Every structure is written in structure tokens, then in C-alpha cells.
Amino acid sequence: MTGAAPATPQPARPASVVLGIETSCDETAAAVVARDAAGKGRILSNIVRSQWEEHRAFGGVVPEIAARAHAECLDEIVSAAMSGAGVLFEDLDAVAATAGPGLNSGLIVGLITGKAIALAHGKPLIAVNHLEAHALTVGLTSELAPPYLLLLVSGGHTQLLLVHGVGRYERLGTTIDDALGEAFDKTAKLLGLGFPGGPAVEAAARNGDPARFPFPRPMAGRAELHFSFAGLKTAVRVRAQALQPLTDQDIADVCASFQAAVAGSVADRIARAMSVAVERLPAGTPRHLVVAGGVAANQALRTALQDLTDSKGFTLHVPPVALCGDNAAMIAWAGAERLALGLTDPLDFSVRPRWPLDASAAPAIGAGVKA
């Protein structure tokens, strides 16, 4: 296990107010979060500007467009967050900014802005790992402290991890091909549902029959804890091509059947990970499953995992929908958690487009380089 970021120990600060900045992909966000001496968090403001319309015509995020959009509005977003929180820069205890993983040009915009604010106002800088922010969000929303089992599902990442503490993560499994969010996006594009794909597929599936098409459950029954969604995506494409021309009901049924396959596959992987978690975590550790990342907003997945945790004696924790996707409240909270441990970063910290939480984990066979 490795820490999420090399950081410089400083005198511990039990309570803090932290500005967070997030620009890792296609949301420009800023937030202010307070953490009290008991470790309880409170969101003072949380501003998110989505870029969906700028990218919709391209069917996915264009890095150059994303970076330009961040640069054009970030100062305004930060100002709105500070105003909404009712604080001044001198009231801050630190500035936290996403430093990776993500799109290089977008990360640069956010981290440079964070550095400028920290330098101008004499505040510590905290370079936040975006994945760590997702992993720790449950501490802000549910006051849940590690250890716990984490499913991290987003457009670029699908991982199972044991969260032992802030900066201490053990990866159990990852995707060997597409991330789950990517599979949703590609399925939506194939069916002509537009971008972003996750909400579009979920909306179409509400009117569909999840049992009409018996799509495969990739990796089901395998001993290793990795995921795979490429085969499922191919099965959807083959079925869609065979149905041409697709009716609205065909599309709804394909989406519902795709979601059912996803839920079944993910539940199978997590059921096995639960057994590993019970073995590896200290005896008597409460059994918690945390689901984080943009795909955690999918209701079909939430329902399947609720049924699983109920049957396995685990408690399910999922952030509110507004905090599942990329946002700056989670960045500010991760910064506050690291600051409480006396961890800050130098102003020459560089962005890390690829930045795994557990750098010691061996890559899955066939896995891409999306860590």
C-alpha cells in the first residue's frame, strides 16, 4: 500500500476551512468545506459548472475544449464558492486542488489556480488525488471513517479497494478493459442516445424489459476480483445491429438488459471482494461497502448492491447523487482530512495525469493505463 501523495508533514491542525478546486475532466468546480475538531465535515458552498453542451456534438470529452472552458470560468466559480460560503481568503486554512488523475491540460488550469491563491494569501497547498477524494467522500456525507470496502466506479475508473485510512489504500481489483462509465457512454453512443451516456441509458432503461436480452455477466464466477465490460459492450452492439432498424422499445429493452447485466456482474465481483475484506481487515471491523464515483448515481446499480449488502451483513453507503460525480466539495474534504494529519504539498508540485491510489498493485492482465 502506498500513500495517495508524497506530502510534507506539518503541525497537525484539528479544525479547518478549506477551499477545493476540481478541473480533472469536464466539470469546473469550486467548494468550501469546514471540518471541526471532532472530524465532522460541513459543506459551506459547492459550485459545479458542467461542460456537457460544449462536448455533446463530439460524443465525448475533448481535452482542449475542456481546458479552455476551465480557464474561462474558474475564477468566477471560485469567487462564487467563496461568496456562497461567506468567507474571505484570509479565513481559509488551506487550498486544495485536484492534481490527478485526469486530463493533463485541465489539471494544469486548476492546480495553477490553487497555487496562485495559496501563494497570494500565504496558505498551505494540498495537491489532491481525485480518486482519494471519491474514496473519502463518505466521511463528509455519512461521517464514516475507515476501514471499509470501496467500489470506485466512474468514466475512467472501475476499482475495488480496501480503504485502511487516509493515504492508505489496497487495490483488490480493477477493470481489464473499459471502465464502467465508459461502457455506459459507448452503449449510449451506439444507440444514438447522446452524451453523457450514463444518465441517457438509465433514462431509456426505465421503459425497458431487463429480461428481454440475456447479455453476458463478464467475469462472473472468476476467482480474481477484476472487472471486464468490453465483451458486454460487444454483445450489445451485435444485438443492436441484428435489430436494425431499432424501435424506441428495442432501445429501451437493450438499455434495461444492459443495466441488468452490469448490476449482476458488479454484484458478483463485490460478493467475492466482501469475503476478502472480512479476511484482511482487523477482526471485529464493522462491515461497510462504500460506492463512489459518477456511476454510483445509477439507481439500478444501487438497488442491486443494496440487495447484496442486506444479504451479506454489510451496510451500504452511497453519497448523495450530487456528490457522486466530479465536484469540489470532495476535493476540499480530502484536503481537510490530509491537513488534519499535517500533510501539505510544495508549490512546485506537478500534475499527475496518471496517479493510482495503490501504486504497488500489479496491473491486471489486459488492463489499460487509466490509473
H/E element, 42: strand 41-50
- 207 confidence band (pLDDT: 50, 70, 90): very high
Residue-level pLDDT at 329: 98
Asked if residues 339 and 94 have their Cβ atoms less than 8 Å apart, the reply is yes
Span 115-150, pLDDT tens digits: 999 999 999 999 999 999 999 999 999 999 999 999
Q: How far apart are CA 295 and CA 298, in angstroms?
A: 6
Span 58-95, pLDDT tens digits: 666 777 788 898 999 999 999 999 999 999 999 999 99
User: Residues spanned by CATH 3.30.420.40 within the chain?
Assistant: 8-142+322-344, 148-319
Q: Which residues pair with 96 in a beta bridge?
A: 20, 126
Please state which of the four CATH numbers 3.40.50.300, 3.90.1150.10, 3.30.420.40, 3.40.50.620 is assigned to the domain occupying 148-319: 3.30.420.40
Span 296-316, pLDDT tens digits: 999 999 999 999 999 999 999
Residue-level pLDDT at 195: 78
Q: pTM for this structure?
A: 0.91
In this model, does residue 371 exceed pLDDT 60?
Answer: no
In this model, does residue 53 exceed pLDDT 90?
Answer: no
In this model, does residue 56 exceed pLDDT 80?
Answer: no
Residue-level pLDDT at 156: 83
Span 2-51, pLDDT tens digits: 445 555 554 444 689 999 999 998 899 999 999 999 999 999 999 999 86
User: Which of 59-68, 267-276, 283-292, 355-364 has the least mean pLDDT?
Assistant: 59-68
Q: Which residues pair with 348 in a beta bridge?
A: none
Average pLDDT, the chain: 92
Q: How far apart are CA 367 and CA 120, in angstroms?
A: 42
b (16+ CB within 10 A) / e for 216-247:
ebbbeeeeebbbbbbebbebbeebbeeeeebe
Residue-level pLDDT at 50: 80
In this model, does residue 349 exceed pLDDT 60?
Answer: yes
Does the domain at residues 8-142+322-344 carry the CATH identifier 3.90.1150.10?
A: no
Residue-level pLDDT at 337: 97
Strands 41-50 and 94-100: unpaired
Helix axes 63-85, 104-121, angle to 10 degrees: 30
| Of 295, 293, 368, 6, the residue nearest 130 (C-alpha) | 293
List C-alpha distances in Å: 51 to 62, 69, 76, 180.
10, 8, 15, 21
In this model, does residue 267 exceed pLDDT 90?
Answer: yes
Residue-level pLDDT at 232: 96
Instruction: Pull the grid cell for residue 347.
Output: 508549490
